[in-house]
Every structure is written in structure tokens, then in C-alpha cells.
Chain A
Amino acid sequence: MTRYLARRLLEAVPLLILISVAVFFLINIIPGGPTAAYENNPHLTPQDLARIERELGLNQPIYVRYVRWLGAVAHGDWGYSLASRRPVLVEIGERLPNTIYLLGVAFAVTLALGIPIGMLSALRQYSLFDHTSTTLAFMGQSVPIFWFGLILIIVFHVSLRNPLTGLPLLPGGGMYTLGEPFSVWDRVSHLILPVSMLTLATAAQYVRYMRASMLEVVHQDYIRTARAKGAGGRRVVWRHAFKNAALPLVTVIALDLPTLFSGALFTETIFSWPGMGRLFYDSALRFDYALLMGIIMVNAALIILSNLAADVVYGCLDPRIRYV
């Protein structure tokens, strides 16, 4: 197990380096970069610009710059944001928890909705509940989430009002009300819309996976055996069927992480949530390239790690799989 983990982690390193090469070269094709801020400054002569470029090492060939970047990253120096002049790692470190907070809540809600509905749908196959949930899941998967976010704002922020105060029913942005003391309801009310937006499509997808996987399991011989041996309905469903049916979901969840991140980008942009997606959006508008590079690398690393985690968890849950 330890050997397997070590091998997989070692395998992840070249993959990350390859990704960083690709992204580094892409970012450096974009004209502008660090000297763009000085270009319109009339007090600077072309000689000054050349001097700045030399000092920043921008006159070096791109592969030299890449190797220097890699060396610096290995030492924990990810460069500075052009906009805020603060270290990239500090900027990301400030925003990442907010994104994890949002995605974590959304993920919990997604599982809490997706798994039971999918299971029930499979257990009552062809019932009214099954037809309704299957159709809704199919539709939910097809809703573009950025549009769904706008609709949520129109309905719950613009149209519906709190009957007591006349204020919008739910806040349309931010993580909490600025200048007000901490309150749980304030936090929760700010979560409802962004979480709903993130949940819809993913929950719909999990309903479909869970249903398909459950249907496959409930017709297996060992389920019949369990019933024949006198195990009750609930026990068979949870102890025998659910455990096996939920297995593939582990992989699905891990493979889904990129989708969750893109979801976060839309959600944080629409609901001005101070997370990493919003940070990326702002940096893209400003060509803040050290920050862009940092955010993409952090995301890529998280995606690769989650894939690894999924394989490990899968193996723990399924004794038929052995690590080689």
C-alpha cells in the first residue's frame, strides 16, 4: 500500500511538470506581461524598458525562464501578483478556503440529494417517483449552470421579497453581510443560492449514476441470496446493495472535480464570492500572469491528487482490488 502510494505520487510529478510546461508556454505567448504596465508611461524610454526586462530576466530564452520559474516554485516562491503586488501563494491561500467552503457545502448537499433519490428511483423502478426523478435528472443535467444562477437571482433576489421587511428574500452575492456581526443565518442565507446553483447539475448526474449502478446491483445473485437467508428489506438495501452500488460513484466524484472547479468559477463570478474562481476571473481580465499560472497549477494538482485519492479509496472499499 505504501509502495503503491509512493509510486503513484511519483508518477504524478512528471504529469504536473508537463502541465506546467504547457501552461507556462501558453501564458508567455500572451503579449504584455510584466512590462505592459510601463508601456504607456511617457517617462520611460525604450532603454528603460529594456533595462527592466533585463532585470526581470525577461530577455532570457523561454526555456531558461521556465527552469528558473520551476526552481523558484520548488522553493515556495510563486511570484507576485501584478495587481496587488502580493505573493501569489498568499493570494491563493486567502481565497482557497472560501472556495473549499462553498464547494464542500455544495458537495454535501449534492450527495445528500443524489444518492437517496437515485437509490429510491432504482428500488421503485418504473414507478411514478422513478419516472419523475429520471426526467427531472435528465433536465437538470442539461441546464447551463450560469443561466440557472441568473434565474435564481431573478426569482429569489429580485422578484421575491421578505414579507416582513420588504427586502430581497435572499442575498444576491457575497459571503456575508458587510459590517454586520456574525450570525449563522446570515452565513446560511448567503450560501443558499450559490449552493443551489452548484448542486443542480451535479446532483442530477449523481441520481442517474446511482440509479444505474443500483439497478445493476439489485439483480445480482448475492442480493437474492441475502434475501433468501432472511435478511430484511432495509438491511439488504443498505448492507448489501448500497455498499456495492456506491463504489463506482467514488470514481465519478473524483473525475468530476474539474467540473466542480469550473462550476465554482461561474458561481463565484455571478455571486461575487471571494474564492479562487473569482480570483482567476479577475486575474484573467488583468493578464495577471503569475497569479493565473499559480491558480491553474493548484487546480491541476488538486485534480491529480483527487484522482489518486479516488483510486485509493476505491481499493479500500473493494477488497477485490489489490494494489500492484
Chain B
Amino acid sequence: MSRDLRHLSPGVPADPALVPSRAGAGEVVLAGAPPRVPRRGRHRTMAQLAWARFRRHRMALAGLCLVAAFALGAAGARVISPYDPERSDLDHRLAAPSWRHPMGTDDLGRDLATRVLYGGRVSLTIGVMAMALAVTIGTAVGALAGYYGRWVDGVLMRLTDMVLSFPSLFVLILLTLVLRTTPVPFLRGGVLAIVLVIALLSWMTVARLVRASFLSLRETTFVEAARGLGAGNARIIVRHILPNSLSPIIVAATLRVASSIVTESGLSFLGFGVQPPVPTWGNMLQAAQDQMTTAPWTAVYPGLMIFLTVIAINYIGDGLRDALDPHHLR
């Protein structure tokens, strides 16, 4: 009973962002017939319908533009900025923001705006890669548990519960310590190590979502029909059930990017993440801690970038939920 209780009670998904932000009275939007979207007299695909709904969510659209801008800025950092992120300029140490250095300089005279752009490269990459890995693990675990049930479900869900009971930040730090000394060279304290560590401790939400979706879908008639036509288990899982559980996965994946970015910057902030001189928003904040009295701007901008990215992605997730899940109470 107790274990199931969480699924019965409203508004208790493990991920806080999964709660309807505009949960409201009664206004149910029926699947396939969204109101206020003009029909153009031709058949439109699910994706087109979803995009039409997504576009009406202004904050989500703004968030998408912001993230796109950040990604472009990070990718084109070399073209945009005249400075080298690593080269120090000892004549202009801890310079306040000015026209020459829009975000000021750090204790080695490096241009902070440039480092923020390059740092975005690392932080965004880690966010997306950790999300991809976590969603892959979570989907696999959830699909197997939900489809096969019985002891497979028992074992996998016990595992999920165990990882959920980990004090996650503490174990994350422990894992980075382990990977820092690993004999595998490409994992040693680098970006990939952080991606792996974050993914290993963040797949559980997706696993639970996918499991729930598989549990209900495996009983449907279309699955029965597929089986009757001779489809094997693998084919049913991948071709029939998975496409029908994509909506919640996509939303969870989007939000996972944001939380991975926060986790990465948190770890780097504490000094257990990506190591300097590679700039990330997190380790820039760590470096700024020593100069907060003399040069507070060093602590403001990298964190502001994290904040803006996270809020933009959260709004995108919000918009995607509205767009992909028309059954959702709005």
C-alpha cells in the first residue's frame, strides 16, 4: 500500500517541476482537437500540432530563443570574443565591468565575458550529455520493469528505490573522487567523468515514468494485436509501446538538462567537478568566492548564466508539457 500511495496522491511526482504550473479548474483539452488552433484543411502530423500548441506558450518560446542564443554564443565563442579565455593580462586584474570587458576580468586578468561563453560550452554540453545518458538508462530500466513485470520489475524497482535513497550530492562527490583516480584515462576528472556520475544518479525519475506508462500500455488492445500478428517482445517494446510513451519522456528529458547543469555547476563550485583551467560556470563561481569583497562581479555573471539557462529550460519544459500532453488538466 504505502509504496503505491505516492502514485495515488495528486501532485506528488518525485520531480518538483512535473507538477502542473497552471493546474486549474476543469478546463480539459481533448486530444487531437486543441481549441483556438485554426484548421488549414489539410492533415497535420502530431509534431505539427504539438508545435502549434507550443508556440502559444510565450514564455516557452522566449526560453527556446534564449537557450538557442546561449548555445550559439558558446559554439561561436572564438568568433564573437577577441580574447583568449586562458590568456592572463596581469595589467588588468580584477577590472570592473566596462566597455572593453563587459563582465570585468578575474584575478588573472582574463576576460570574464569570454570565459562565460567558453564555460557555457562545457556546462551546456555536460547538461545535454548527462540528460541523454540518464534518459537512456531510465528508459531501459523503466521499459524492462514495466513490460516484463514479475521479478524483473521487483529487482529493477528495488534498485531504483535504493538509488533514490542515496543522499545524492554526497554520493556524487564520492563518485567524482573515485573517478579522479581511475585507471581509465579519458574518465579522469574530465567532462565525461562528470557526465557519467551525474547520469548514474539521475535516471530514476525517467525510469518510474516509463515504467508507469509501460504498465498501462502493455494491457492495451493494440499491443495485443501486435502480439497476435507475431511481433516479438523487443519489437513490441521499441516499435509499439515506446512511441506511445514518448511525451512524458521528452518533458522529463528537457527538465533533466536543467537539473544536470545545476548539478554540474554545484559540483564544480565545490571543487569536485570539472577542474580549472577549463572554465565552467560552476568553477568560475568557485574561483570568485575568494574575491567577493573586492570584485563581486566575478560571482554575479556566471551564476546569472546558470539561472537564466535553468529558468529558460524550465519554461521550455512547461511549454512542451502543454504541447505534448493535451489530456493534461490546464
Within 8 A of A (CB), among B155-205: 158, 161-162, 165-171, 173-175, 177-178, 181
- B261-302 near A? 1/0 per residue, CB < 8 Å: 010011001111000000000000100110011001001101
Give the Cβ gap from B7 to chain A, nearest Cβ, in Å. Answer: 10
Select one of B17, B158, B296 contacting A154, CB under 8 A: B296
Whole-angstrom CA separation of A261 from B17 in the bound complex: 19
| 19 A-B contacts (beta carbon < 8 Å) | A125-B24, A142-B310, A142-B314, A144-B307, A144-B310, A146-B266, A146-B285, A146-B303, A147-B304, A150-B285, A208-B21, A219-B25, A247-B9, A248-B11, A251-B6, A262-B168, A280-B170, A311-B2, A321-B1
- B293 CB contacts on chain A under 8 angstroms: 158
Whole-angstrom CA separation of A31 from B181 in the bound complex: 7
| Contact A251/B258 with A216-B23, A280-B170 known, Cβ cut-off 8 Å | no
> Do A307 and B165 touch across chains, with their CB atoms under 8 A apart?
yes
- B314 CB contacts on chain A under 8 angstroms: 138, 141-142
A252 contacts the other chain (CB 8 A): yes
> Do B167 and A251 touch across chains, with their CB atoms under 8 A apart?
no
| Contact A258/B167 with A142-B311, A219-B25 known, Cβ cut-off 8 Å | yes
> Do B170 and A269 touch across chains, with their CB atoms under 8 A apart?
no
> Do A213 and B11 touch across chains, with their CB atoms under 8 A apart?
yes
Within 8 A of B (CB), among A1-42: 8, 15, 18-19, 22-23, 26-27, 29-32
Which 10 residue pairs of A and B lie closest in terms of their CB atoms, listed nearest first? A147-B303, A262-B169, A299-B167, A142-B311, A311-B2, A212-B23, A142-B310, A154-B296, A150-B299, A205-B16
| Contact A141/B10 with A23-B174, A30-B181 known, Cβ cut-off 8 Å | no
> Do B11 and A154 touch across chains, with their CB atoms under 8 A apart?
no
A287 contacts the other chain (CB 8 A): yes
- B1-38 near A? 1/0 per residue, CB < 8 Å: 11001100111101011011111111000000000000
> Do A296 and B167 touch across chains, with their CB atoms under 8 A apart?
yes
Select one of A144, A252, A296 contacting B303, CB under 8 A: A144
B145 contacts the other chain (CB 8 A): no
Q: A151-B299, A321-B1 are in contact. List 7 more A-B contacts (CB 8 A).
A: A141-B17, A209-B19, A212-B21, A265-B270, A287-B177, A296-B170, A314-B5
> Do B177 and A153 touch across chains, with their CB atoms under 8 A apart?
no
Q: Nearest B residue to A301 by beta-carbon distance? A: B165
B306 contacts the other chain (CB 8 A): yes
- A205 CB contacts on chain B under 8 angstroms: 16
Within 8 A of B (CB), among A284-311: 284-285, 287, 292, 295-296, 299-300, 303-304, 307, 311
- A296 CB contacts on chain B under 8 angstroms: 166-167, 170-171, 174
> Do A154 and B19 touch across chains, with their CB atoms under 8 A apart?
no
Please give the number of chain A residues whose Cβ is less than 8 angstroms from any Cβ of chain B in the complex.
70
> Do A138 and B25 touch across chains, with their CB atoms under 8 A apart?
no
> Do B269 and A30 touch across chains, with their CB atoms under 8 A apart?
no
Within 8 A of A (CB), among B126-178: 158, 161-162, 165-171, 173-175, 177-178
Select one of A159, A284, A315 contacting B174, CB under 8 A: A284
> Do B258 and A142 touch across chains, with their CB atoms under 8 A apart?
yes
Q: Nearest A residue to B303 by beta-carbon distance? A: A147
Q: Nearest B residue to A292 by beta-carbon distance? A: B174
A139 contacts the other chain (CB 8 A): yes
Query: Among the interface residues B26, B165, B269, B288, which one has the most CB atoms of the partner chain A within 10 A?
Result: B165
Q: What total of A-B pairs shows CB separation below 8 Å?
A: 177
A143 contacts the other chain (CB 8 A): yes
Give the Cβ gap from A302 to chain B, nearest Cβ, in Å. Answer: 8
Whole-angstrom CA separation of A221 from B265 in the bound complex: 47
> Do A26 and B24 touch across chains, with their CB atoms under 8 A apart?
no
> Do A150 and B292 touch across chains, with their CB atoms under 8 A apart?
yes
- B177 CB contacts on chain A under 8 angstroms: 30, 284, 287
> Do B169 and A324 touch across chains, with their CB atoms under 8 A apart?
no
- A interface, by DSSP: helix, strand, loop or mixed? helix
- Which range holds the interface residue count of chain B? 35 or more
> Do A280 and B9 touch across chains, with their CB atoms under 8 A apart?
no
> Do A300 and B167 touch across chains, with their CB atoms under 8 A apart?
yes
A66 contacts the other chain (CB 8 A): no
| Contact A216/B10 with A144-B265, A251-B5 known, Cβ cut-off 8 Å | yes
| Contact A138/B11 with A265-B170, A299-B170 known, Cβ cut-off 8 Å | no
Query: Among the interface residues A147, A151, A303, which one has the most CB atoms of the partner chain B within 10 A?
Result: A147
Whole-angstrom CA separation of A284 from B170 in the bound complex: 9
- B269 CB contacts on chain A under 8 angstroms: 146, 266
Within 8 A of B (CB), among A64-119: none
Select one of A29, A215, A247, A281 contacting B270, CB under 8 A: A281
> Do A261 and B258 touch across chains, with their CB atoms under 8 A apart?
no
- A192 CB contacts on chain B under 8 angstroms: none
Select one of A154, A211, A285, A300 contacting B166, CB under 8 A: A300
> Do A216 and B11 touch across chains, with their CB atoms under 8 A apart?
yes
- B21 CB contacts on chain A under 8 angstroms: 134, 138, 208, 212
Give the Cβ gap from A180 to chain B, nearest Cβ, in Å. Answer: 22
> Do A303 and B167 touch across chains, with their CB atoms under 8 A apart?
yes
| Contact A19/B162 with A142-B310, A280-B170, A322-B1 known, Cβ cut-off 8 Å | yes
Whole-angstrom CA separation of A247 from B12 in the bound complex: 10
Give the Cβ gap from B12 to chain A, nearest Cβ, in Å. Answer: 5
Whole-angstrom CA separation of A255 from B2 in the bound complex: 14
- A198-237 near B? 1/0 per residue, CB < 8 Å: 0000000100110111011001000000000000000000
> Do A26 and B165 touch across chains, with their CB atoms under 8 A apart?
no
> Do A208 and B181 touch across chains, with their CB atoms under 8 A apart?
no
Whole-angstrom CA separation of A30 from B180 in the bound complex: 9
